[in-house]
Amino acid sequence: MGPDKHTVRPGGRGILATAVTVVCAVTVLAAPGTAFAAPSPSPSPSASTSPSPSASPSVTLPPDKDLEAVRDKLDRLYHDAAVATDAYNAAEEAAAKQSAEIVELAKKIVQGQRKLDGLKARAGRAAAAQYRTGGLPDTAQLLLSDNPSQFLDGAGRVLQGERATKGLIRELTQTQQDLKQYAADAADQWNRLETGRKAKAAAKKKIKQRIAAAEKLESTLEKKQKERLAELEREAAYQAQTAWLDTGILDEIHTKASAAGKKAVAFATAQIGKPYVWGAAGPDSYDCSGLTSQAWASAGKPIPRTSEEQWKQLRHIDVKDMRPGDLIIYYDDASHVALYIGDGAIIQAPRPGRTVSIAGAGSMPILGVVRPDA
C-alpha cells in the first residue's frame, strides 16, 4: 500500500509510470509529481483491546535497539558479501581475458612454428646448393670454369643469394626469439589464470559464508520481528533519502538523459522484480554491477563488469550534474552501484533475498557518480 498523501514531500518531477506502480508496492515512493515519502505508521492495537481466546499468543518484540543491532550485523554481512562478489566478478572477468589471450598466443606459437619449419627448409635447400658447387671460392670457380663469361653473369646471382641467406638467418633467428617470447607469455598467463582461479574460489567461499550467516541470523527472528526489522530498514532509508533531498539537490539537477542513457534506463526498468543473485548478469537475475553493466551494454556502450572498476574507469560527474542513466557508486569501497533514473530515484539490484527495484538515490552513502557515455 502506498504512503498516506499527507506524508508526501513535494518537489519531485515524476517517475516512469511503470516504475511508480512497482514502487508503491515494494518501496516508499510517492505518486508522480512527488518525492519519496515517509512510510505510513503501522496501526497499533488499542490498549483496551484484548485478544480473543482463539487468537494466537502475542509475540513480545525486543527493544528497537536490539533489532537495530541485528540490522547492523545483517548490513555488515551483506556488505562483506557484496565486496567479495565484486572480487569474484573481477576474477571471472580477468580469467575470461587471460583465457582469450592464451588462445591467441597458442595460435601465434603454431603459426611461428610453421614459419620456422619453412625457414629451416629454405636454409637446408641453400646448404644443399652450396654442397653441389663443392663450396669452392668464387676465384677458384672462375679459373676452373669453361665459360668465364657465364660464370661472371652468375656471380651477381651468387651475391644476391648470399644476401638472401643472411636475411634468411636473421628471419630464422627472429622467429625463434618470437616463439620463445610467446611461450613465456603463455606461461605467465597460465600462472595469472591459476592465481585468479584461487582468488575466485576464495571470494566464492566468502560470499557463501556471509550470506549463510545472514540467513541464519534472519531465521532466528519471529515473523513480527522480521516485519519490524523491515520497517526499521525502510525508516532508515527514508531518513537518509529525506536528508539528501533536504539539501535541495533536486533543485540543481536538471540534465536530461542522453539517447543511450534512455536505453539503459529502459533496460533496467524492464528488469524490475527479477531476483538478486551474486555473480549474475542476466537475463533472469542480476547482482548490482551485473545490472548496470548489462543496462549499458544494451545501450551499445560496454562498461567494466564490477562496481569498483566502473568507479575507477568511467568519467566522474558532480552529483548536481548527473542525468538519468548515470551510475551512482555507493560506500567508500565502491562496493555497490545503481542506475540513476531521475527525480531522486535509482534502480538497483540490492542484495541476496531481494529483487531489482526502485529506491531513493540518497538512501545509501554516495561515493560519487560516473557517466558511461561521457
pLDDT above 90 covers what percent of the chain?
50
* 369 phi/psi in degrees, rounded to 5: -125, 140
Compute the distance between CA of residue 144 and CA of residue 135 in angstroms, rounded to an integer.
Answer: 13
Burial 202-235 (b: 16+ CB within 10 A, else e): ebbebbeebbebbeeeeeeeeeebeebbeeeeee
Tell me the Ramachandran region of residue 314: left when phi exceeds 0, alpha when psi lies from -120 to 50, beta otherwise.
beta
How many whole angstroms from its chain centre is CA 256? 25
pLDDT band, very low/low/confident/very high, at 146 (cuts 50, 70, 90): low
pLDDT of residue 81: 92
Residue bearing cell 653473369: 153
pLDDT at 173 over 90: no
Compute the distance between CA of residue 237 and CA of residue 243 in angstroms, rounded to an integer.
Answer: 10
Question: What letter represents residue 121's amino acid?
Answer: A
pLDDT at 8 over 90: no
pLDDT band, very low/low/confident/very high, at 284 (cuts 50, 70, 90): very high
Q: Note if the pTM is more than 0.75.
A: no
Q: What is the 3-state secondary structure (H, E, C) of 234-286?
A: HHHHHHHHHHHHCCCHHHHCCCCCCHHHHHHHHHHHHCCCCEECCCCECCCCE
pLDDT top residue among 132 and 268: 268
How many whole angstroms from its chain centre is CA 159? 61
pLDDT of residue 62: 60
pLDDT band, very low/low/confident/very high, at 152 (cuts 50, 70, 90): low
* 192 phi/psi in degrees, rounded to 5: -65, -40
Please enumerate in sequence order all residues whose Cβ is within 8 A of that of 140, keeping only pairs 6 or more positions apart, or say none: none
pLDDT top residue among 186 and 10: 186
Give mean pLDDT, residues 294-314. Answer: 96
- Average pLDDT value over all residues in the chain: 79
Report pLDDT digits (tens) over 46-100: 333 333 333 344 445 567 778 889 989 999 999 999 999 999 999 988 888 888 8
